[in-house]
Amino acid sequence: MNHVAGAVSSLDEIRTLIGNLPGADLEAGTAAAARERVLTKPEGSLGRLEDLACWMAEWQGRHPPAISHPRTAVFAGNHGVAARGVSAYPPEVTAQMVANFVAGGAAVNQLCRLFDADLRVYELGLDRPTADFVENPAMSEQECVTAIAYGMTAVEPGIDLICLGEMGIGNTTSAAALCLALHGGTAADWTGTGTGVAGETLRRKIRIVEHAAARHRDRAGDPLGILAALGGLELAAIAGAVLAARMARVPVLLDGFACTAAAAVLHAVCPRAIDHCQVAHCSVEPGHRRLLERIDRKPLLDLAMRLGEGSGATLAIGLLQAAAACHQGMATFAEAGVSERD
């Protein structure tokens, strides 16, 4: 996979890569569906857990599916637009929270310990924020490509599930601008409180999203160009990790609004590009629920979370572990001597 990452040197090459992504392993999916039908339960009685077992088999390319080496990858980047006061916290909090992740003091650390997930934190030039996208593109094409390629390196051999998350003051502003440029509507449709802004600060944030999307309207119809103009280094890296996971047959759990917005860029290029992804939870950010409708995804959890840092994605590991355990460990009707329905 590092070879693939090193080979990507332009957005055109990434467009080509998206057009040639491998599909699901239908043989593994068929085997999983066949087993689900003969387990000691009424068919469909485990609901989405049954669907998740089949989905994991298809995208791991094996049956039965298993979650034994999950990874949580948190990408951290700073946004030039943060200098306009769109967050309740100053930009230096990004680096401070990265230090907290390393020290083990964040929520995601506790969740990774609980589910025995390997936590990796990827810093993307925290001392060099993206440009203020109200005035200029956030990233040059080369900066965007480099971030995408860096994100690809998070998918290493041996992991069988990757949970993606982010840390970056200003990234809900970036996510809202991306969604507005990709899907239309109004800035108010996509812009929420983020870290807890309200009143005039929230109104200013909405105006900034509106102005930024208008400033770069010449990129309409070019999702990767929109990512470079309105995204962040950490969001581009998430897109890269999603692509690398697809190539390596590793299922993906996406975290909240910003993370899903990054994946939605790939969906806008090719809707099937994120079929190997599940959205772990629905954030309270109003744009997230709207975005999930646009990309036709149903979240696994809806717990009014809005923390980011991969917390919701890591929490959902438990659901996938439960789905895999029931699928593999339950007895069949024949094994248990239980009569099947007439």
* Residues catalogued as catalytic: 309
3-state class (DSSP) for residue 156: coil
Number of Cβ atoms within 10 Å of the Cβ of 204: 14
Number of Cβ atoms within 10 Å of the Cβ of 337: 8
Both structure tokens of 334: 């024949």
d(CA 133, CA 140): 11
Both structure tokens of 192: 């929420």
CB within 8 Å of 334: residues ≥ 6 apart: 38
Contact between 253 and 301 (Cβ < 8 Å) = no
Both structure tokens of 221: 């119809």
Give CB contacts under 8 A, 24+ apart, made by 99-104: 101/74, 101/167, 101/309
Quote the longest CA-to-CA distance of the chain.
70
Residue 163 is given by DSSP the state: E
d(CA 202, CA 207): 9
d(CA 308, CA 240): 18
Sign of the alpha-carbon torsion through 204, 227, 150, 258: positive
